[in-house]
Structure 1
Amino acid sequence: MTKRKIELLAPGGNVDSIKAAILAGANAIYCGLDKFNARNRAVNIDFDDLQGVLHLAHKHNCEIFLTLNIIILESEFSALVSLLNKLQNTSIDGVIVQDIGLLYVLRKHFPSLNIHASTQMTTHNEGQIKFLSKLSATRVNLSRELNLKEIKALSSAAHQQKMLTEVFVHGSNCISFSGICYMSSVHGGNSGNRGRCSQPCRDRYLTTTAGKEYPLNLKDNSAIYDLRELYDAGADSLKIEGRIKGSDYVYTVVDTWRKQLDTFYRTDKVGEENSILYKVFNRNFSNTLLKGDISKDMFIDNPRDHSIKHLSEVNSYASADDLEKGQLKLYKEKEEIKSSVEDKINSVSAIKASLQINLSGEPAAPLKVVVKTPDSEFEVFSKCNLLDKGTEALTKEMVLKRFKAFNDTEYFIEDLNLEEIKGDVYISFKELTALKKRILFILNDSRETLEPIKLPAIKKLTKENEKPNLSVLISSEEEVSFVDETNAQIYFQLPNSFKGKLDAYVDLFTQNEKIIPYFPSVIIGEDYDVAVDFLHCVKPKLIVTNNTGIAYEAYQLGIDWIAGPHLNMANSYSLLSLKEDFNCSGAFISNELNKQQIQNIKRPEDFQLHYSLYHPIVLMTSRQCLFHQVTGCVKNMVDNTCIQSCEKHSSITNLKKDSFLIEKSKGNYHSLYNTNNYLNTAILNDLPNVFSSCMIDLRDVKTETKLNFGKREVISFFEGLLNGSADSEKDVKKAIHPSVNGQYKKGI
């Protein structure tokens, strides 16, 4: 039986890397322009480069996907729509997206563009697949933390929605769930959600109790031997990471995977030779996430290239001289790889294809236009005959002005010849424009040229001079009584996993109907099923959720819901999507935004805006055990009892003396917190009458920020602050110390 084909998806950080991927046998390549993509540190390409790349790739039966995978600010939509108007008239095969507002705009106004959901959307449960399907996504890049069983379940769910799935199979691993890491944003102002991650997780730290200097540094991912399992799991695309890597890396890795796939198709066997992968950049390799073996073996205490060390590990050198000879041989092999790849990529061109255009005709006859490309030749005729008089004779300048749109395609006008025009002839601009459209139709593989889209203006709503309400986030059952002791809404944080405790949580919420369930960002597999059962059993009137899968289920059940702060709402179109597509009643605005960026957002009618005024700053959430490299752990591997029962705290400090706090609480994944909590009282004066509700997070997360009063008093101080009481801001700052609000000052 013929095997189904799996797409091999390669990175393209610049034109040379794209050429390398094509020549090595990639089926598709993802690349970014100099704006709107999540790898700003890559060289990237410009729009003319893109057109040349499309021409070369499609000649080699290779697709091109463009990364637009960052959260989008309100002020950027004008430039973004201009880009989309150009993209819809190219042969681009898909756009990769993180922002819900951009998904909304693409679905409503640019239906010809295939939408791919970025791994930055943190997709890890069935509800999220359905959420994305409703937004017209045609494929999803699954969270890279998933195991084969989870990938199989989600691929099945995606296929039911007529969506494809991508799985990362090679390259750098992030220690945090993608899309919800704020470490680089808080420390340095370089947001990972804007493509500027400075990778502080790979920094050197003061030596930990476990004797490690790079406690957050993971080995690279390599699933080269897991091809059969990935095939059986239903994955449609195998994705290689590496848009900031060189062309020699891209060629070597793609070529290795291409051979592995071809061997599998031909012989039904998986090859067992991967030594070439160690000869380009690597941090050693691990496939334990894919296998579901989340263990300390995933870490490596060095973020630099592992090639030389690997050489020493696999060879037992008898002397230092032998070791030096081996190292010199490897350096030579590396240079040979680079030289060989350079020769290959220099043998092909990724510039736009040339057009030779020849015009001929005479009065009383139609204008004939012959167009030659490097691969074909065709001719078109005007519908009306040329005239011997008129307002402006046909000239080269006139034709170039009308035909300049050809230069915005995969082609450029190299030569325009009017020598076969006999005498002075005249033709209407309308007729020249019609000829242009027919030529474009042929050049664009029989696709009509689409007219530019202009987004409808979103009306700025005026609000009454009302003060925001207070909401309080708790996680302790002892504090449920706050609901009767304050006018504030009380949100209760549910854990990532509460298998075995469903009945207890159902009882808690049914007996205390005023408390509002607050769902975390990450809810995987059986934990998602349990969370859905909770919604069906409790049927709360309102929830807050940071997980779009839970949002989708609430929408299906008719439960009112608020989008939580970690869904990164940053523009009006995201809010419109939530309201129109999922009947959402309100959303938290991202805490990464500054005053001006928030001020530009226009809320929909009958939609509330929320803001987290005070909270511990979670820098990342990880499926790995962060204590393996910090304090050590008696277990080598994370198991279900770890998630449900483990409760630990520790800290790490980098060489700049910045400390980070590690917390593992019962039922939750490991989290890394900022030393000081976020407190932003300035926003109430900066942006009055914008928010319907402001939240304070009073969960017992152990940071260096201290509450100098009891929680009930702190709540009363914030109530006074929101009501505009005299000295209330002083009371709040006296009650909470120290604190930071750098994200609000800087923005993204």
Structure 2
Amino acid sequence: MALELMSPAGSLESAMAAIAGGADAIYFGAGDFNARRSAKNISGEELPELLRYCRLRGVHTYVTVNTLLTDRELQKAASLISTLNREGASAVIVQDLGVLRMVRALAPDLPVHASTQMTVHDLAGAIACKEMGFSRVVLSRELPLDEIRFITERCGIETEVFCHGALCMCYSGQCYLSAAIGGRSGNRGLCAQPCRMAYGFDGGKPAPWLSLKDLSLCTHLQELEQAGVACVKIEGRMKRPEYTALVTSIYKKAIQQGRAPTQEEMKQLEQVFSRSGFTDGYYTGKTGSQMFGVRREEDARAARGVYAQARQLYEGKENPRVPIHLSFTALEGREMKLTVTDGDGFSYEAQAPMAEWAISRATTQEEVARNLSKTGGTVFYPEKMDIALDPMLRIPASTINAMRRQCLDGLTSLRRRSPRRREGEWQPGARRLEHQGEPGLIFQVQRFDQLSAPLLVLYPDYVYLPLEECVRHLPECIALQQEKGIQVAPVLPRIMFDSQWPPFLEMLRQCKKAGIGQVVCSNVGHAALLKESGFALRGDFGLNIMNSQALKELKAQGLQSATLSFEMTFPQMRDVSKALPCEAIVYGRLPLMIFENCAIRRGAGKCACKEGQHFLSDKTGRQFPLFPEPGCRNTLYNSEPVVLSDKKKDYTRLGLRYVRLCFTTESAQECAAVARRYDQGLTIEGRFTRGLYYRGVE
């Protein structure tokens, strides 16, 4: 199967530009529930005609319904899904597991693609998506070719890869920086891009530590096709139609002709938009400082110079893109017949009275072919033609032209029709009984030495700690369980490529053998990976659970508890019907970003993860701690901890089974002091935040 090229359509004009540029598919938002809510998007009035326009031209339409939804938004989303199903969208792109559940109920024949916001980056994640009903998965941008190939060859569903456009520093779906700083959530489609601002490393000079250059894989398209990738995707729903047209046309020619772009085409790609050039660092595994850049004034000036040229690619012209087979018959004593068939199984037939005998000159096959070939101004072009013609007949050109027009009009009508699909029903279901009374307690630590006797005297139900730390202190962890009745649950790394999993699977085997029965999962792949392991699976914040339907889906996947998103307000948490025991993070520095390109190594000039505490600072002087993660990754934590020690009455009313205190930079003494304040319901001195639980996110 040929590599599909998908282009962004942030507006109706951009959709036209993408199609004129040669896109095989477009993706766009058609409501409030898409990850580019600031784009113009496609209005309700524009949607049906755009879908018909694309079906006629053989262009797939993938509609983004890829944000996290609260319970009170689900009904509106259900209406949108029903509309998309009825109007014939090719597929919907989804992040929220609750939305997936709704699509399966409302539109069982509507294909669903797993958004890159689901952070699928390993084979287990892709297999989980297949088992949940996705037909395609959009892989994380951070994957190198070997990992892409490994997943694609084995997962059993289509894979899609971003090939051009803006790169986020954080793994998509795991970025909470914009929400924490300004209340604009990337998971809700309103990221303010604070990663493009300057930060200082360990108090040093401000620099673009988090601003990556744009991605370009235009020289790797053949490799991706050979790896079995189904679709390559251009980012840019916030960009101008000229950008869409130019980038699409260059990539389309490269795919069709099996080549890399020319030097002139590469220059045009840089001119229309770049940040000091492009990068393919994740794809090639060559990460480092060379991947970073900012949008300069000279970049913007270069773009203005190519806009007029790019507009010529799509203004006022129709490119024929649907090949057809024309079969014409004119035989003595029979009606004339023309049948036109396309490659999608549509066919239309026109008939005319039998032709008369020629008096002076008979019509030739060449003349018939010439008239049948006049498809200009339509989306069709003749790919094959069969003509059966008696040699002594005279056929007026007007008759052939009329038959051709009738067939093309009929074929146009057939292609524009919505596909016939089943329509189902969805109901939110009965509300589950919630936990009554004070929630249980969970302590999460980065280091085992934070678990002092004064802390453990409060007898938490669970202790969470990183898997590697659990294995390093396995005897002590087992003692906690046996002597104090405190369950220990190792936390799996949020990000782990397939090539990096073997030692961690061995660690899990050691934990299981020693008597550890719980494990904390951060993405859908963990559940698929550990389904038969015998561990009780506890869902972490990285699963981005924001509504009742998503909880039901997690339960179906075998999880036994879940952490509600810290982007929710307390009333939104209370709205959730808790099909699983739920927990919430009520203390600690929130993890705002996780990234593949190690900031500690870049800042220190060497691997310095074990050499003290590192941080990034913003223009106000706030310091955001950096913690190393397995695989030479980093997590960036908030500058201030969430503190709710004096708000126990508020979070006790939410029906939560557990609340979690997350300790990161604190010493053992500080951990114990914080826990005591929570136990007593007293405030904590110093700078802190209430998080998003009261102010919420957009």
TM-score tier, shorter chain, comes to 0.7 to 0.9
Q: Which residue of 2 aligns with 1:141?
A: 138
Match of 1:88 among 85, 92, 102: 85
Q: What does residue 404 of structure 2 align with?
A: none
In the TM superposition, 1:406-425 aligns within 5 A as none
Q: 2:550 & 2:285 partners in 1: Cα distance?
A: 34
Among 493, 501, 511, the alignment partner of 2:465 is 493
Residues 488-637 of structure 1 mapped to structure 2, 5 A cutoff: 488-494=460-466, 504=472, 513=481, 514-539=487-512, 540-579=516-555, 581-604=556-579, 607-627=580-600, 632-635=603-606
SS of residue in 2 equivalent to 1:149? helix
Aligned to 1:294: 287
* Aligned pair partner of 1:26 in 20, 23, 26: 23
Contact map agreement 2:600 2:609 (CA 8 A) in 1: no
Mapping 1:691-710, distance limit 5 Å: 691-700=656-665, 710=670
CA distance in 2, matches of 1:217, 1:473: 31
Answer yes or no: is the 8 Å Cα contact 2:521–2:527 preserved in 1.
Answer: yes
The unaligned stretches of length 5 or more in structure 1 are 309-326, 350-374, 380-440, 636-641, 721-727
Please name the residue that 1:247 is paired with.
241
User: Comparing 524-533 with 563-572, which one deviates more in the overlay?
Assistant: 524-533
AA of the residue aligned to 2:681: E
Quote the offset at 1:54 in angstroms.
1.5
CA distance, structure 1, for counterparts of residue 419 and residue 544 of structure 2: 36
Distance change >3 Å, CA 44–CA 460, structure 1 → 2: same
Residue 739 in 1 paired to residue 691 in 2? no
- 1: CA distance, partners of 2:624 / 2:471: 32
Q: Does 1:473 align with 2:444?
A: yes
For 1:113 and 1:61, how far apart are their aligned partners in 2? 17
After superposition, the Cα gap between the structure-2 partners of 1:56 and 1:615, relative to the gap in structure 1 and judged at 3 Å, is same
CA deviation after TM superposition for structure 1 residue 89, in Å: 1.2
Report what 2:367 is aligned to: none
Aligned partner letter, 1:72: L
CA offsets 1:43-90 (integer angstroms, 9 cap, x no match): 101123122222222222210100001001100111111111111112
- For residue 315 of structure 2, what is the aligned residue in structure 1? 345
Partner Cα separation in structure 1 for residue 430 and residue 82 of structure 2: 23
| Distance across 2 between alignment mates of 1:152 and 1:520 | 22
Alpha-carbon offset, residue 549 of structure 1: 1.6
Distance 1:614 1:532, change over 3 A: same
Q: 1:679 aligns with which of 638, 643, 650?
A: 643
Q: Which digits, 9 at most, give the CA deviation of each residue in 1:233-274, with x for residues without a partner?
A: 32211111000000110011011101111111xxxx434431
Aligned-residue identity in percent: 26
Counterpart of 2:671 (choices 708, 711, 726) is 711
CA, structure 1 residues 193+446, in 2 after alignment: closer, same or farther (shift >3 Å)? Answer: closer
Residues 565-612 of structure 1: per-residue CA shift (max 9 Å, x gap): 221111000011111x222221111111112211211112xx211111
Question: How many Å apart are 1:194 and its aligned residue?
Answer: 0.3
Cross-structure match for 2:618 = 653
Q: Which amino acid aligns with 1:243?
A: R
Q: Partner letter of residue 506 of structure 2? A: D
Q: Which moves more between the two structures, 36-45 or 518-527?
A: 518-527
Q: CA deviation at 1:661?
A: 1.6
C-alpha separation in 1, matches of 2:577 and 2:498: 36
User: How many angstroms does 1:481 deviate by?
Assistant: 6.3
Distance apart, 1:443 and its partner CA: 8.3
Q: Separation in 1 of the partners of 2:419 and 2:33?
A: 26
Q: How does 1:25-64 map to 2 (within 5 A)?
A: 25-64=22-61
CA distance in 2, matches of 1:533, 1:155: 25
> Structure 1 residue 214 and structure 2 residue 185: aligned?
no
Q: Secondary structure at the match of 2:125?
A: helix
Q: Does the aligned pair in 1 maintain the 2:39–2:237 contact within 8 Å?
A: yes
Q: Which position in structure 1 is the counterpart of 2:391?
A: none
SS in 1 for 2:141: coil
Deviation at residue 688 of structure 1 after TM alignment: 3.1
Q: Which amino acid aligns with 1:686?
A: D
Residue 446 of structure 1, CA deviation = 7.8
2:531 alignment partner AA: Y
Question: Relative to 1, partners in 2 of residues 1:695 and 1:446: Cα closer, same or farther, differing over 3 Å?
Answer: closer
- Which residue of 265, 276, 281 maps to 2:273? 281
Hey, what's the Cα distance between the residues in 1 that align with 2:287 and 2:473?
28
Query: CA shift at 1:687, angstroms?
Result: 4.6
- Secondary structure at the aligned position of 2:208 is classed as coil
- Would the aligned equivalents of 2:587 and 2:644 in 1 still touch at CA under 8 Å? yes
Provide TM-score, normalisation by structure 1.
Answer: 0.74
CA offsets per residue over residues 490-528 of structure 1, 9 Å max, x none? 433226xx5xx9974766656665421122322222333
RMSD: 3.0
Aligned pair in 2 of structure 1 residues 521, 62: CA closer, same or farther (>3 Å)? same
The 1:463–1:231 alpha-carbon spacing in structure 2 relative to 1, beyond 3 Å, is closer
The one-letter amino acid paired with 1:661 is F
Q: Structure 1 residue 484: deviation in Å? A: 6.3
Aligned to 2:77, the other structure's residue is in SS state: helix
- Within 5 A, what are the aligned runs for 1:36-435? 36-158=33-155, 161=156, 163-205=157-199, 211-264=205-258, 269-273=259-263, 274-283=266-275, 284-300=277-293, 302-304=294-296, 307=299, 333-341=305-313, 344-347=314-317
Q: Name the structure 1 match of 2:365.
A: none
What's the secondary structure of 2:635's corresponding residue?
Answer: strand
Confirm or deny: 8 A CA contact 1:519 1:547 kept in the other structure: no
AA aligned to 2:499 is E
Contact 1:589 / 1:598 at 8 angstroms: preserved in 2?
A: yes
Residue number in structure 2 paired with 1:318: none
SS where residue 161 of structure 2 aligns? strand
SS at match of 2:117: helix
Q: Which residue of the partner structure matches residue 431 of structure 2? A: 460
CA gap 1:533/1:109 in 2 versus in 1, 3 angstroms: farther
Distance 1:616 1:484 in 2: 21
- Determine the structure 2 residue equivalent to 1:16: 13
Counterparts in 2 of 1:506 and 1:294: CA distance versus 1, 3 Å: farther
- Structure 2 CA distance for aligned equivalents of residues 232 and 465 of structure 1: 56
Cα 1:588/1:683, change in 2 over 3 Å: farther
Q: Secondary structure at the match of 2:243?
A: helix
Q: Deviations over 1:327-368 (max 9, x none)?
A: 7xx577424324424xx334469xxxxxxxxxxxxxxxxxxx
TM-score by length of 2: 0.79
Corresponding pairs, count? 595
